[in-house]
Chains A and B, each alone.
Chain A
Amino acid sequence: MVVNVKNMIDDELFFGHKACAGCGGSLALRAALKVLGPNAVAALPAGCMSAVGFNFPQLAFANNAMITPFAATASVLTGIEAGLRAQGKKPDDCTVVGFAGDGGTADIGLQALSGAIDRNDDVLYICYDNEAYMNTGIQKSSLTPFGAKTTTTPAGSNVHGCLTQKKNLFEIVAAHGIPYAATASVGYLNDFIRKVERARDVHGTRYIHVIAPCPTGWGCGVDETVDIAKDIVDTGLWYLAEYEGERVSGQPGGRFRLNRDPKQFASVPAYLRRQGRFRAFSDDEVAAVEQGRDAKWEVMRREWRG
Chain B
Amino acid sequence: MIEVLWHGRGGQGAFTAARLLGAAASMADGRHALAFPSFGPERRGAPMRAFTKMDDVPIGDRSAVAQADYVVYLDDTLLGDGWECELKPGGLVLANSTRTFDDPRIVALDADGISTAVLGRPIPNTVFLGALAALCDRVELADVEEAVRQYMPAKLHAKNIEIVQAAREAVSRRDEGGSARRPERVEQAEGSPVASAENTATAPQRPASRIPTLRSGALDPAEFAHSTCFEGGYLTVKNAGWRNIRPVIDAAVCTGCLQCYLYCPDGAVYKTSRSDAVNEGSCGASDCSESFPKRASAREESLELQDGVPHEAAASGRSAVRQNGGIEIDYDFCKGCGVCAKACRFGAITMIPESEADAR
A binding-site residues for B, Cβ under 8 Å: 2, 4-7, 9-24, 26-27, 30-31, 38, 51-52, 55-66, 189-190, 215-216, 221-227
Q: Which of B16-24, B103-111, B164-172, B205-213 contacts A (4 or more CB under 8 A)?
A: B205-213
CB-based contact B338/A222 at 8 Å: yes
CB-based contact A15/B261 at 8 Å: no
Q: Give the Cβ gap from B49 to chain A, nearest Cβ, in Å.
A: 16
B177 interface contact, C-beta 8 A:
no
- CB < 8 Å: which of A13, A17, A221 contacts B266? A17
B289 interface contact, C-beta 8 A:
yes
Contact A15 B44, CB 8 Å, known A21-B337, A59-B232: no
Q: Chain B residue with minimal CB distance to A60?
A: B212
Q: Give the Cβ gap from A54 to chain B, nearest Cβ, in Å.
A: 9
- CB < 8 Å: which of B45, B211, B230, B290 contacts A190? B290
Q: How far is the CA of A225 from the CA of B265 in the complex (A)?
A: 9
CB-based contact B233/A62 at 8 Å: yes
Q: Give the Cβ gap from A175 to chain B, nearest Cβ, in Å.
A: 32
CB-based contact B339/A51 at 8 Å: no
CB-based contact A18/B262 at 8 Å: no
Given A4-B290, A57-B230, 7 extra CB contacts under 8 A: A5-B258, A16-B238, A20-B43, A21-B265, A27-B264, A65-B232, A190-B290
Q: How far is the CA of A305 from the CA of B339 in the complex (A)?
A: 33
How many residue pairs, one in A and one in B, have C-beta atoms under 8 Å apart? 158
Q: Give the Cβ gap from A203 to chain B, nearest Cβ, in Å.
A: 26
Q: Chain B residue with minimal CB distance to A224?
A: B342
B binding-site residues for A, Cβ under 8 Å: 10-11, 40-46, 207, 209-212, 214, 219, 224, 228, 230-239, 242-243, 258-259, 261-267, 270-271, 279, 283, 287-290, 333, 335-339, 341-343, 351
Q: How far is the CA of A111 from the CA of B40 in the complex (A)?
A: 33
Q: Chain A residue with minimal CB distance to B275?
A: A6
Q: Chain A residue with minimal CB distance to B335?
A: A21
Q: Chain A residue with minimal CB distance to B351?
A: A223
Q: How far is the CA of A26 from the CA of B44 in the complex (A)?
A: 14
Q: Give the Cβ gap from A181 to chain B, nearest Cβ, in Å.
A: 24
Contact A223 B231, CB 8 Å, known A15-B212, A58-B236: no
CB-based contact B259/A5 at 8 Å: yes
Contact A60 B290, CB 8 Å, known A21-B45, A189-B262, A223-B341: no
Contact A15 B266, CB 8 Å, known A21-B242, A62-B212, A222-B45: yes
Return chain A residues, CB-CB under 8 Å to B212: 12, 15-16, 59-62
- CB < 8 Å: which of A52, A190, A225 contacts B339? A225
CB-based contact A21/B44 at 8 Å: yes
Q: How far is the CA of A15 from the CA of B228 in the complex (A)?
A: 21
Contact A10 B41, CB 8 Å, known A16-B333, A22-B339, A64-B232: no
Closest 8 CB pairs of A and B: A223-B338, A4-B289, A18-B41, A22-B337, A21-B337, A12-B267, A11-B210, A21-B335
Q: Give the Cβ gap from B70 to chain A, nearest Cβ, in Å.
A: 28
- CB < 8 Å: which of B232, B264, B271, B337 contacts A62? B232
Return chain A residues, CB-CB under 8 Å to B231: 59
Q: Chain B residue with minimal CB distance to A59?
A: B234
CB-based contact B234/A57 at 8 Å: yes
CB-based contact B265/A24 at 8 Å: yes
- CB < 8 Å: which of A13, A19, A26, A59 contacts B230? A59
CB-based contact A226/B290 at 8 Å: no
Return chain A residues, CB-CB under 8 Å to B333: 15-16
CB-based contact B271/A20 at 8 Å: no
Contact A226 B232, CB 8 Å, known A30-B265, A57-B224, A60-B212: no
Q: How far is the CA of A10 from the CA of B343 in the complex (A)?
A: 19
Q: Chain A residue with minimal CB distance to B207?
A: A10
CB-based contact B265/A5 at 8 Å: no
CB-based contact B336/A21 at 8 Å: yes
- CB < 8 Å: which of A4, A7, A22, A57 contacts B265? A22
Contact A6 B209, CB 8 Å, known A22-B338, A27-B265, A227-B342: no
Q: How far is the CA of A15 from the CA of B335 in the complex (A)?
A: 12
CB-based contact A9/B265 at 8 Å: no
CB-based contact B209/A10 at 8 Å: yes
17 inter-chain pairs at a CB distance below 8 angstroms, sorted by A residue, are A5-B258, A5-B262, A9-B210, A10-B207, A10-B270, A15-B266, A15-B267, A16-B212, A20-B335, A21-B265, A38-B210, A55-B41, A57-B230, A59-B233, A221-B338, A222-B339, A226-B343
Which of A4, A7, A51, A57 has the most CB atoms of chain B within a 10 A radius of its CB? A57
Contact A189 B43, CB 8 Å, known A11-B209, A59-B233: no
Q: How far is the CA of A223 from the CA of B350 in the complex (A)?
A: 12
